[in-house]
């Protein structure tokens, strides 16, 4: 695979990711209406959503800027290809950071939601509430959820661009 095809493949995936993120943020705006949140819970949700939206605008603008800079790359120039490889790795690290931040924000709202609705981890923990107080139950559930989401974010971003990074690395001899 030559450098131009790799760059086109990366840009194609970036375009899909960008549009998916925009659609996801748009759909998240209507979540309280869809699930019928109370006014108080909807207010808390929109507070978390606003914070997430601010981070999304920042990270997705950086993502889009890199996408546009990739248009000016001379794929035959080794220095440009090397720049693209290293910038892609940096952008993917930023994209992972965006996923981590949104995971924390979503987990924060999840904790508030569980607290307001008195949702517990599993019925087994409810039966042994004497041994595990409800606050610890909430912490266990939150940490488990965050861990799973971090693993998913890390593997999804790495997996989707893994082939292109590997091909580009082999072309550049890194």
Q: Return the pLDDT at 50.
A: 95
In contact, 112 and 44? CB cutoff 8 Å: yes
Most confident of 43-47, 127-131, 164-168: 43-47
Mean pLDDT of the chain: 82
Q: pLDDT of 105-163, one tens digit each? A: 888 888 788 777 766 555 545 555 555 556 676 677 667 777 887 888 888 777 888 88
Torsion of CA 129, 132, 133, 136, to 10 degrees: -140
């Amino acid at each position: 695979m030559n450098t131009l095809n790799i760059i086109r493949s990366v840009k194609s995936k970036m375009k899909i990711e960008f549009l998916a993120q925009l659609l996801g943020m748009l759909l998240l705006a209507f979540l309280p209406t869809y699930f019928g949140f109370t006014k108080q819970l909807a207010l808390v949700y929109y507070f978390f959503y606003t914070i997430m939206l601010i981070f999304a605008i920042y990270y997705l603008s950086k993502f889009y800027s890199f996408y546009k800079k990739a248009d000016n790359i001379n794929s035959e120039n080794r220095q440009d290809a090397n720049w693209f490889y290293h910038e892609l790795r940096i952008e993917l690290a930023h994209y992972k950071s965006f996923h981590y931040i949104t995971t924390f924000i979503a987990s924060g709202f999840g904790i508030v939601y569980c607290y307001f609705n008195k949702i517990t981890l599993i019925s087994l923990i409810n039966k042994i509430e004497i041994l595990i107080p409800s606050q610890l139950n909430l912490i266990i559930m939150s940490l488990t959820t965050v861990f799973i989401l971090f693993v998913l974010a890390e593997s999804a971003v790495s997996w989707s661009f893994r082939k292109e990074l590997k091909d580009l690395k082999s072309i550049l001899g890194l």
